[in-house]
Amino acid sequence: MSKIVLITGATAGIGEACAHTFAREKYNLVLTGRRADRLEKLAEKLKAQYGVDVMQLVFDVEDKELVVSKLEGLPEHWKKIDILINNAGLSKGLDPIQAGQFDDWDTMIDTNIKGLLYVSKTVANWMIANGQGHIINMGSIAGKEIYANGNVYCATKAAVDFLSKGMRVDLLPHDIKVTAIHPGAVETEFSMVRFNGDAERAKKVYEGLVPLTAEDIAETIWFAASRPAHVNINEMIITPTRQANATVFNRKV
Ligand code: NDP
Ligand code: 8X3
């Protein structure tokens, strides 16, 4: 029987790239996101290209009741999730703490921390019932080190780092692996979302770098997911070659 991966935030960027990678590896997929039209197109493409089965669940991870009801509404055989990729996430704004917007803070905390928790609790219980599973959380280099004006986004990703460590301990008796992936600069819709569609500002983030691609991260995730049963990759930090850490870049313009 084919294995099943559930990917949150599969409508763009790293989540979408993961959907392609796991479909290539013949996993059936549960794909989630808010943009139903994108999920629909992606599902059709993956089914046609790889011959896999795809379930689409449209929900905002911030909405606790909706998250639980959509997930619990899956047919029973789709709840045998082998791998959960907690990828949905975003940053909003890049301001000093004294100038930050409450709405931006709420969105980041509700999405990156609380949304991840709502999905994880539900799926972890299925994995416990199945006697195995692997949870892969999208952290960030921003959760390992602070950078100027990153304050709340960095804090949400530091929370993902610690939640990953906590999950690894709590789920240990149930043979569930937990991995955290911490990328540096990956060129996706991320910066457009952070800067509310300001394309010029978004472009500058990657200027003079050869940024990572969503596919680079999807292949890293696949590496972690495809280790033998007795091996768990706890965490990985991946940067472009021209990025040393969260703040030091070698930009060649
Ligand atoms: P994108 O903006 O390209 O994709 C983000 C995905 O998350 C989209 O599919 C979006 O779907 C989904 N999403 C966002 N908010 C919600 C929500 N409230 N409910 C449901 N889905 C949501 O960004 P990336 O692919 O770059 O980001 C993916 C993850 O990787 C994030 O957690 C990000 O923090 C992390 N990351 C990114 C890095 C980068 O440099 N790009 C580096 C390190 C980590 P939709 O809008 O359809 O809901
Ligand atoms: C995304 C990477 O450094 O732009 O998490 O915050 S960074």
pLDDT-derived band of residue 1, with 50, 70 and 90 as boundaries?
confident
Phi/psi at 135 (nearest 5 deg)? -105, 125
What secondary structure letter does DSSP report for 213? P
User: Tens digits of per-residue pLDDT, 142-192?
Assistant: 999 999 999 999 999 999 999 999 999 999 999 999 999 999 999 999 999
193 lines ligand 1 (CB under 6 A): yes
Number of domains comprising the chain = 1
Paired tokens of 89:
């996430």
Q: Give the nearest ligand 1 atom to 142 CA.
A: 43
Name the amino acid, one letter, at 65: E
Alpha helices in 51-112 (DSSP H): 64-72, 102-108
Crossing angle for the helix pair 116-130 and 64-72, nearest 10 degrees? 30
Q: Could you tell which of 95, 140, 157 is best to mutate to test the pocket of ligand 2, judged by most ligand atoms within 8 Å of the CB?
A: 140
Q: Give the nearest ligand 2 atom to 142 CA.
A: 6
Residue 133 placed within a domain? yes
Residue 174 placed within a domain? yes
Give the number of whichever ligand sits closest to the CA of residue 91: 1
Contact 236, 182 (CB under 8 A): yes
How far apart, in whole angstroms, are the C-alpha atoms of residue 128 and residue 131? Answer: 5
> For residue 121, how many C-alpha atoms fall within 13 Å in the half-sphere facing its CB?
11
- CA distances 212 to 95, 209, 240, 241, Å, are 24, 9, 6, 9
Give the number of whichever ligand sits closest to the CA of residue 62: 1
Alpha helices in 131-208 (DSSP H): 151-170, 190-194, 199-205
141 lines ligand 2 (CB under 6 A): yes
Contact 164, 140 (CB under 8 A): no
Residue 247 placed within a domain? no
Q: What is the mean pLDDT of residues 202-207?
A: 97
At 61, which CATH number? 3.40.50.720
Residue 198 placed within a domain? yes
User: What are the percentages of helix, strand and coil residues in the chain, rounded to 5?
Assistant: 50, 15, 35
Residue 175 placed within a domain? yes
**Residue 143, helix vs strand vs coil:** helix
User: Tens digits of per-residue pLDDT, 16-62?
Assistant: 999 999 999 999 999 999 999 999 999 999 999 999 999 999 999 99
Residue 244 placed within a domain? no
112 lines ligand 2 (CB under 6 A): no
89 lines ligand 1 (CB under 6 A): yes
Ligand 2 centroid–CA 183 distance in Å is 7
pTM: 0.99
- Domain range enclosing 204: 4-238
Give, for 21, the enclosing helix (H) or strand (E): helix 13-24
Longest dimension (CA), the chain: 54
Residue 248 placed within a domain? no
Residue 40 placed within a domain? yes
15 lines ligand 1 (CB under 6 A): yes
Paired tokens of 191:
């910066």
- On average, the pLDDT of the chain sits at 98
Q: Could you tell which of 87, 138, 141, 205 is best to mutate to test the pocket of ligand 2, judged by most ligand atoms within 8 Å of the CB?
A: 141
93 lines ligand 1 (CB under 6 A): no
